[in-house]
Chains A and B, each alone.
Chain A
Amino acid sequence: MPVICPLCVRLLRMALVLLCVAGLTFGLMLASPIDPIDAYLGPQIAQASTEQREMIAARWGFDQPPLVQFGHWLGQLASGEMGWSHVYNQPVSEVIAQRFQRSLALLGLAWLLSTLLGFALGVLAGVRDQSPLDRIINSYAYITAATPAFWLAMLGLLLFSVTLGWTPVCCAGPSGSLSDDLGLATRLHHLALPVATLTLLSTAPITLHTRARMRELMASPVATQAFAQGAGRWEVAWRHGARHACLPAITLACASLGELFGGVMLIEQVFAYPGLGRATVEAALRSDVPLLMAIALFTALLVSLGNATADGLYRLIDPRLRRQG
């Protein structure tokens, strides 16, 4: 029996998981008691006659039984078509592509900064164990882990945008300017506060795990041996600590994509930043089923890829695992 390469098994497994995600989203959306057509019509409820409502339901395919709808959606997906978003009246793939581009800047920057900052703080706290610095970093991590994301965003807004006026009050670009003549500087200026808030919020887990691993290493025989050879604490932290501590950091960083996307959804809501996060909230609240399923699949894929890269990197760095392949 040919050995099924472990990679194919993983891919099959991922496909199965994504299918379940689609089914789960579909089931949840249909179970909702709120009538999507009411939400869609809004103030026009007075004018729309019942024939009009039936026509809208037919156009969205809500009149067919659920299973047929799901089968229809799967058929479309097989042919690469993601369906039509009725909230944005655009192909779903276009909505995601257009809005993820904006969210990517926020997500990517925040992810990178939070990983680096988290790792650095973790190493720092680990090296200067039991020192005041360690206590400060530790309490900082616990406090940010307990802070509601949107509240911190609001505080940032209140302090930096409203009182100090350093950062703009909202959106991805100044009002009245065309998006293609937005310089990198203005884009970053608008991204500054959201990215800062999101970074602060997501450093906590990485800091705590790195710190734990660093403390464990600093007390290990490897460190003692290095000290015995006359190495200073910083040299041990750099040469041995960093290598050991980055193992949990990597797995956590890659696994935190899901949590980070949740943060992005909240931050975009507070900063009125028009990205995929806000589109997701909008799609969920107005039960735009095709768009929401596509977003759920897209983010689930992102998370699964994140976990896969984490495993891959883990094997790469830790030679003990490399031999077993």
Chain B
Amino acid sequence: MLQIDDLSLQLPYYASWWRRQWAEVLAGVSLDVRPGEVHAVIGASGAGKSLLAHALMGLLPAPHRQAGHLTFKGQPLTAARQRQLRGRELALIPQSLSALDPLVRSQRQVRWAAQRAGHTAARAPHTANQALAHYQLDERAQQAFPHQLSGGMARRVLTAMAHVSSAQLVIADEPSVGLDPQQRDRVLNALAALAREGKAVLLISHDLRHALPIAQRVTIMRQGRCLETAPAAAFEGDGHALTTRYAQALWRALPDNHFTSPVTQPAPHVA
């Protein structure tokens, strides 16, 4: 479905008041997402995960330099095509809950999402209500304003928005952050359900442990680099199936692997 080859990205920053320099945030990222699959991208915060998501959607802030090429369903994903497919074929579930307009009721925001996805103004309310119901959001929640919703409910409204667009590729950016376990599982299962319906789901998170149950493949990212892409199965035992040391260290550091980690040596640099 989606093919990313050697994607690299540079953003400007002001070293001093008048001197501007470029910093490399993504270097040579390559991965692909197949339909019906949940591909998890795991990395520490600041590894450039959200930027990857925005790069895919073509929503990067104006002054940026991007190299490498993206192909979606066989054709190259140019900026124009991105603009055309956004909301229809490509859907993004954003990281922060402040993506919901605080001044508009949730039901109406989902209806707008439906309209933007191509549904006619008449059918849009119906699809919106259906999607919200699908994510167990009752009438009161639908009429509520975003600040009146709990974290989980807001997250589900965002997912409903993606759902309404019947997009082929769904990119979820840190969907489980800040949720209690029960809400978290609910959201992740919803993503898994999307994958089962044949959509390609790119799950971006820093929480390896909870991404594993629903992910088929996992890519580890560090400081803008893709260290390794491994099938979910490789993450078991002491992680010997993993090729890179950092991935192994990450896996062993998890609490249920009793915190063992080769803490002494620094992580090797990929050549």
Contacts and interface: CB of A to CB of B under 8 A. Distances in A.
Q: Do A and B touch directly, given a CB cutoff of 8 Å in the complex?
A: yes
B87 A244 contact: no
B92 A228 contact: yes
Given A230-B116, A319-B103, A221 B86 contact: no
Given A243-B103, A319-B102, A228 B88 contact: no
Interface string B61-98: 11000000000000000000001011110111010101
Nearest to B161: A229
Nearest to B97: A221
Interface string A125-137: 0000010000000
Interface residues of B, number: 32
A260 B193 CA distance: 60
Contacts of A226: 112, 116
Contact of B96 (A221, A229, A318): A221
Interface in B97-130: 98-104, 112-113, 116-117
B112 A221 contact: no
B145 interface: yes
A229 B94 contact: no
Interface string A216-239: 000111101111111100010001
A317 interface: yes
A292 to B, nearest CB: 44
Nearest to A247: B103
B104 to A, nearest CB: 7
- Do most interface residues of chain A lie in helix, strand or loop, or is the interface mixed? helix
Given A227-B86, A230-B88, A243 B96 contact: no
Most buried by A among B54, B102, B117, B165: B102
A228 B117 contact: no
A317 B145 CA distance: 12
Contacts of A227: 57, 59, 86
Contacts of A221: 94, 96, 98-99
A229 B147 contact: no
A254 B99 CA distance: 30
A319 B88 CA distance: 31
A224 B94 contact: yes
A240 interface: yes
Contacts of A130: 62
Contacts of B98: 220-222
B103 A318 contact: yes
Contact of A239 (B62, B92, B112, B158): B112
B101 A228 contact: no
A228 B91 contact: yes
A320 interface: yes
Nearest to B105: A319
Nearest to B54: A224
B94 A319 contact: no
Contact of A229 (B102, B104, B116, B145): B116
Contact of A319 (B96, B116, B145): B145
Given A221-B94, A225-B94, A239-B112, A231 B101 contact: no
Contacts of B161: 225, 229
A243 B103 CA distance: 7
Contacts of B92: 225, 228
A103 B83 CA distance: 52
A228 B87 CA distance: 6
Contacts of A319: 102-103, 145, 147
A52 B91 CA distance: 89
Contact of B87 (A219, A229, A240, A323): A229
Given A239-B112, A320-B147, A228 B59 contact: yes
Contacts of A239: 104, 112
Contact of A222 (B83, B85, B87, B99): B99
B86 A244 contact: no
B59 A224 contact: yes
A38 to B, nearest CB: 60
Given A228-B90, A229-B86, A230-B85, 9 more contacts: A221-B98, A222-B100, A230-B83, A231-B87, A231-B112, A239-B104, A243-B103, A318-B103, A319-B102
25 contacts: A219-B61, A220-B98, A222-B101, A224-B59, A225-B99, A227-B59, A228-B90, A228-B91, A229-B87, A229-B91, A229-B112, A229-B161, A230-B83, A230-B85, A230-B86, A230-B88, A231-B87, A231-B112, A240-B104, A244-B103, A318-B103, A319-B102, A319-B103, A320-B102, A320-B147
Interface of B: 54, 57, 59, 61-62, 83, 85-88, 90-92, 94, 96, 98-104, 112-113, 116-117, 145, 147-148, 158, 161, 165
Interface of A: 130, 219-222, 224-231, 235, 239-240, 243-244, 317-320, 323
Closest 4 CB pairs of A and B: A230-B87, A225-B99, A228-B92, A229-B87
